[in-house]
Amino acid sequence: MAILPIIIYAQDTIYKKNNQTINCKIIEIGLVEVKYLIPEKYKDVVLVIAKDDILKIKYENGEEQAFVNEMNDKNSYADNKLNALKFHFFSPLLDYLAFSYERSLRAGHSVEGTLGIIGIGTDLNEDKPEGVFAKAGYKFIKNPDFYLRGMKYAQLLKGTYFKPEIAISAYSFNQNTYSYDNTTNLSTTTTNRQSTFSGAFILNVGKQWVFDNRFAVDFSIGIGYGITTLSKNDYSGITSQYGFSVDPNNGLALTSNFKVAYLF
């Protein structure tokens, strides 16, 4: 009686992004594709699948290998500087000094915080303001409109972005009250120190340029909703809260920023 040989092939498993699986034998993993065999179906045919279609591979020894496209693979940006210390370039002209810090979390995502000291710089209204403001936002950096194999960000902090942001401001300033005496025909000025608190939720759009993976320029504008303790009766329009502006009458909040940055 003849004994027929039985060949048992070790099985690897390809998990595709569309939830399909392929039981096979991996023979080669290239830069853009994976080659494999299915001996029980196609004895001598080498099959090929794009790496972009693969979620992961589980090898016959139990080890697993995950796949991400080059745009989202952190290894593609090993040489990128992920932190930026920013200076609000025109802030001293607006009577405050402000700095921001941005940290890249992953491709297309970063966080940014801002701290400003009110009262340093040109006193535009001669009201001697003193206080601080702070901002915190999450930045979504725009992806390309279409993806080509091998495409990636030029630099993780570079590009057009959308940033929801929360801002708060607390400061005191001199408020002058003028009165006129009809009897003496003299006017008097009374100065009182007033404190105010403001807050806003702002949606920003902007663009950041990166040069030589070392320096950056960031410009943005934003609009949103705000609140302030300033009296509606005393102010008829938008008021600067140092870092953003709020209209006490309708709650409109606006901001614009021009920052220069050092990457590290």
Q: Residue 29's domain is classified under what CATH number?
A: 2.30.30
Residue 5 lies in a domain: no
Residue 33, H or E segment: strand 33-38
Same domain assignment for residues 31 and 139: no
pLDDT in tens, 75-122: 778 899 999 999 999 999 999 999 999 999 999 999 999 999 999 988
Average pLDDT score, the chain: 88
pLDDT in tens, 164-193: 999 999 999 887 766 666 666 667 777 788
Same domain assignment for residues 29 and 86: no
Same domain assignment for residues 127 and 242: yes
Residue 47 lies in a domain: yes
pLDDT in tens, 200-243: 999 999 999 999 999 999 999 999 999 999 877 667 678 889 99
How far is 250 from 103, CA to CA, in rounded Å? Answer: 34
Q: Which residue has the higher pLDDT, 162 or 177?
A: 162
Other C-beta atoms within 10 Å of 77: how many? 19
Q: Is the pLDDT of residue 4 over 50?
A: no
Same domain assignment for residues 25 and 101: no
Same domain assignment for residues 226 and 174: yes
Domain encompassing residue 210: 75-263
Residues 6+ apart with CB under 8 A from 251: 225, 226, 227
Q: Residue 200's domain is classified under what CATH number?
A: 2.40.160
**Strand-pair category, 215-228 with 239-240:** unpaired
Same domain assignment for residues 54 and 122: no
Residue 212 lies in a domain: yes
Q: How far, in whole angstroms, is CA 228 from its chain's centroid?
A: 26
173, exposed or middle or buried, with CB in 10 Å at 0-12, 13-18, 19+? Answer: buried
Closest CA to 140 of 166, 159, 161, 111: 161
Same domain assignment for residues 131 and 243: yes
Total domains present in the chain: 2
Q: What is the pLDDT of residue 45?
A: 92
- Dump strand ranges (E) for 59-158: 64-66, 83-88, 96-106, 109-118, 130-141
48, 67, 86 — which closes off a domain? 67
Same domain assignment for residues 61 and 100: no
Q: Which residue has the higher pLDDT, 184 or 126?
A: 126
Which long-range contacts does 217-220 make (Cβ < 8 Å, 24+ apart)?
A: 217/258, 217/259, 217/260, 217/261, 218/86, 218/257, 218/258, 218/259, 218/260, 218/261, 219/257, 219/258, 219/259, 220/161, 220/163, 220/255, 220/256, 220/257
65 DSSP assignment? E
pLDDT in tens, 40-63: 888 789 999 998 899 999 999 999
Q: Is the pLDDT of residue 6 over 60?
A: no
Same domain assignment for residues 144 and 167: yes
How far is 26 from 210, CA to CA, in rounded Å? Answer: 41
Q: Is the pLDDT of residue 128 over 50?
A: yes
